[in-house]
Structure 1
Amino acid sequence: MIYLDVLLLVNFLAAYFFLLAAGALSGQRARFGRMLLGSTLSALSSLILFVPEQPYGVQLAYKLASALVITAATFGWRNKRRLLTACCWFAALNIALAGVVLLAILRTGTPLLQTGNLTVYLRVSPLLLVGLSALCCLAVELGLRLLNKPKPTKQIVGLELELAGTILHLRAALDTGCHLIDPITCLPVLVVSFPDAQNRLPQILRDYLTAWFAGKPPGDPPPHTRLRLIPCRTASQHSLLPGFAVGNIGLITTNGILGLGRTAVAFAPQSFGSEHYEALYGNDFL
């Protein structure tokens, strides 16, 4: 007898840990709400256990498609390579857990096994399965911390974007603590220092931001721009930064401009204190 509530809960918790591990292995970090969404979809995908046995090709296609949908719901579609990497790691971790379960069955000869459509159900303590998933996630985190080589604290790249009809070229530095998100698109945001970059901005945009940071009514946003209010939380205060939607940000490389997709740019009122860059980006931006 399979208890539906136990089946869903165990798969939800196991998926949560596996998505954490897959995100760490693919260099991504999803928000808590997206983690819950991906875990819920993973739990629901286990209901195929109750479906009549399908041809092997259908079973395999379902497993691959469900893994892709789950990781896409968790990490988004923006970076296809990272999405595919996370999908492969998520599927591999699930297969690894199933392999451990099958190994235990072969060793002990337990009759408490039920399989269907490439889904394995072992009627043992749910805490054991959840604990194995948590240990897997912990092992991945420890392995990454022990094996990863230290990276430079600042990695500077050149970026190209268009604002108010003007093409801008900015230098951006990696800041691992930068995790601003556009609340509309849920995409990571590039943070630009207004004092450092104002000489590169068109006059109409410069006047608008000057009035904003001076606490004066800035009026309507400049033509050809879409205003965004970006929540910013620091150790000392919470605030809303003025920002603008950007159709595409391009990474300047030796082979040309590499498009990074649509996102938003937020402007900060303070200088970043460097002559080498005017903007900051987080680990999940590129």
Structure 2
Amino acid sequence: MKTVIYLDVLLLVNFLVAYLLLQATGVLTGQHAPFVRMLLGSACAAASALILFAPELAYPVQLAYKLATALVITALTFGWRDPLRLAAAACWYAALNILLAGLVFLVIFETGTTLLQTGNLAVYLRISPLLLLGLSGLCCGVIEAGLRFFRRRPARQETVGLEFELCGTRIHLRAALDTGCYLTDPITCMPVLVVSLADAGSRLPPEIRQYLTGWFAGSEQTAPPAGAQLRLIPCSTATQRSLLPGFAVQGIGLITPNGVLQLGRTAIAFAPESFGDAQYEAFYGSDFL
């Protein structure tokens, strides 16, 4: 008996499933990918399902193929600038794929259904494409409803007090949450605090303020002030990519009613412009606190 596999249905199914798994991966790793990148990653995942037509491979080879394609797919979707975040996304995506394949095998063993066919950890569902679209739409709706229901409520406190030490000077600032801030220290891969030089310049040590002013004015750069460890923080916006100057600091602490809570963050970056609000002088991302 021969089994007929419709290539268009195979690609469509895996495209839709990959889109849902990538959405789940983004939620689990705290990353957000643009819609075009989501489509690109899903298309790559659908193409990777063509391994179904290959001869049955050894299980370790199948697993290695899954992990390698997961790395490529997540790199296309979420980017590859931060190796740690990419590795986390790839591991979660691969784990979700393997979990899904395991559930399919469980269904096959328990029910003996003929609607499912697997090969090399790839899955083929022999049902109507319209039914697949309907089920995928239902899954999307369930996931969206779940995300809205379990989404964290915004913190009542819009700004927080932070402190750190720079060149022997202890500096206190107010910082506001910016969910679009994903800057990280290229040395430690940890999220950084973005400070406005225009708003907080008067609180900085004079030598640091002078150095940063010259940096943003485009003057010829000299060595950073004594005791300051320069960091160049990659920054991407909708219009350009640049490097923001920053410094390693002696830990960043969150000021609370019970004292200062050390956050384990050890770098800050500076932006030349004012943030336009007298209530804060810095921004932090959703994964900073």
Pairing partner for 1:125 from 116, 123, 128 = 128
Report the more deviating stretch, 197-206 or 97-106: 97-106
The change in CA–CA distance for 1:208 and 1:157 in structure 2 (over 3 A counts) is: same
Q: What amino acid does structure 1 have at the position aligned with 2:219?
A: G
Distance 2:88 2:30 in 1: 12
- 1:11 is displaced (CA, Å) by 2.3
Corresponding residue number in structure 2 for 1:143: 146
Corresponding residue number in structure 2 for 1:173: 175
Distance 1:11 1:89 in 2: 14
- 1:273 is displaced (CA, Å) by 1.7
Report the more deviating stretch, 197-206 or 137-146: 197-206
The change in CA–CA distance for 1:87 and 1:239 in structure 2 (over 3 A counts) is: closer
Distance 2:109 2:45 in 1: 24
Q: Is the 8 A contact 2:214 2:221 kept in 1?
A: no
- 1:147 is displaced (CA, Å) by 3.1
Distance 1:51 1:263 in 2: 51
The change in CA–CA distance for 1:107 and 1:118 in structure 2 (over 3 A counts) is: same
Report the more deviating stretch, 117-126 or 222-231: 222-231
Task: Look up the SS of the partner of 2:283 in the other structure.
Answer: strand
State the number of aligned residues. Answer: 272
Matches within 5 A, 1:189-228: 190-203=193-206, 206-207=209-210, 218-221=218-221, 223-224=223-224
- 1:152 is displaced (CA, Å) by 1.2
Corresponding residue number in structure 2 for 1:268: 273
Q: TM-score, normalization: structure 2?
A: 0.64
Which has the higher relative contact order, 1 or 2, with Cα contacts under 8 A spaced 6 or more apart?
Answer: 1
- 1:8 is displaced (CA, Å) by 3.6
Q: Is the 8 A contact 1:8 1:43 kept in 2?
A: yes
Report the more deviating stretch, 18-27 or 122-131: 122-131
Report the identity percentage. Answer: 43
The change in CA–CA distance for 1:239 and 1:46 in structure 2 (over 3 A counts) is: closer
- 1:23 is displaced (CA, Å) by 1.3
1:258 aligns with 2:260: no
CA-based RMSD of the aligned residues comes to 4.9
- 1:12 is displaced (CA, Å) by 3.0
Distance 1:129 1:195 in 2: 55
Distance 1:51 1:174 in 2: 53
Q: Is the 8 A contact 2:66 2:94 kept in 1?
A: no
- 1:15 is displaced (CA, Å) by 1.4
Deviation digits for residues 170-227 of structure 1, max 9, x if unmatched?
A: 6463524434769x9xx977432223310243546535766899xxx65335645687
The change in CA–CA distance for 1:219 and 1:83 in structure 2 (over 3 A counts) is: same
Distance 2:6 2:204 in 1: 61
Corresponding residue number in structure 2 for 1:91: 95
Q: What amino acid does structure 1 have at the position aligned with 2:244?
A: G
Q: What amino acid does structure 1 have at the position aligned with 2:91?
A: C
- 1:127 is displaced (CA, Å) by 4.6
Corresponding residue number in structure 2 for 1:30: 33
